[in-house]
A and B are shown apart, each in its own frame.
Chain A
Amino acid sequence: MNRYACAAYALVVSLSGAQAAEEWGIDHEAIARVDAKVVDLLCEVTGDCIDQCGEGKRQLGLLFDDGRLVPVVKNFDIFAGATVDLISFCGKRITADGLMISNPKMPMFALQFKREAPDGKWSRANWFIKEWSKANPGKPGAAWYKHDATVLDVIAKDGVYGIPGLKPEDE
């Protein structure tokens, strides 16, 4: 494919709004685009339910039409989960684009793009950093984990190894 064909393809993809998950090289991963309902895991598993899937304080999952439940463990941001991306879809069907990780230790889904099914607007699953940046103006969202106040407090108290007083040798 020459450069003009590549450019044309990229233009078509961008104009159509099509999204496509990428491989991350993780064992047991498979690129997956699935339709499922966003549910509060605690509610779905135990019957302990509250309004709006806990409004962001509870872990969320994908409930498939056949009753299968898969936790959504990761979004597209570094070191971040997917609750911020999914909470507005609580109880709704979405099309989730990402990685189905069928690890025998524990199956899970890593979300890269999402939209309300069947034809909502696609958005990348990167809302954790967007929200963090709104709450932390002037700080670099891409390195949120180095600048987050809670992170800094925990590490200052317990150290990088989690044991007060135990420090890297070169410090």
Chain B
Amino acid sequence: MRLKSIAGAIVFTGASFFPAFGMTATPERIRVTGEIIDTWCYVTEIMYALGTAHHKCAVWCAIGGIPVSIKGDDDKVYMVLKFEGDDTSVSNPKVLTIQSHHVTVDGDLYVRDGVNYLIVDAVADDKGIINLTHEEYGIQPFGE
């Protein structure tokens, strides 16, 4: 009886107890459609950071080890931690080749402390680069 009470208390308090101590949360299965972006340049708005205008810089930043995200069509930023079974999130060779692409992916979403962490299981669609921003913004950031 006493064990049952303790177990019940753990189950009852678990939802609020675990997150405070950094335990993992249950993911939400999700489909995200949007553009593969460089997280730093886009979030900080340190320069124009979408589409063809920013493609070369996005490649630099991904190879430099800055996290890659998907800027969803819902305007949310989803930081990619795993891609099609590969847990390399620093300069992932596959992800390098699809910088600035407009993709639809399926995966697991974990939201923690204001960050959307995405585990990409599969790319359902890849339209390539369709955001032709260079005519308006040139080549970011140096114009060459």
Contacts and interface: CB of A to CB of B under 8 A. Distances in A.
Interface residues of B, number: 56
A70 interface: yes
B123 interface: no
Contacts of B6: none
Interface of B: 19-22, 24-25, 27, 39-40, 43-46, 52-53, 55-57, 59-61, 63-67, 69, 76-77, 79, 81-82, 87-91, 96-97, 99-101, 108, 110, 112-117, 119, 128-129, 134, 139, 144
Interface residues of A, number: 55
A69 B63 contact: no
A26 interface: yes
A150 B64 CA distance: 10
Contact of A48 (B87, B114, B115, B116): B87
Nearest to A154: B59
Contacts of A71: 67, 79, 115
A85 B39 CA distance: 18
Most chain-A CB neighbours within 10 Å: which of B24, B67, B87, B112? B67
Interface of A: 24, 26-27, 41-42, 44-48, 50, 54, 56-59, 63, 66-71, 73-74, 77, 79-84, 101, 103-108, 110, 128, 144-145, 148, 150-151, 154-155, 158, 160-163, 166, 168
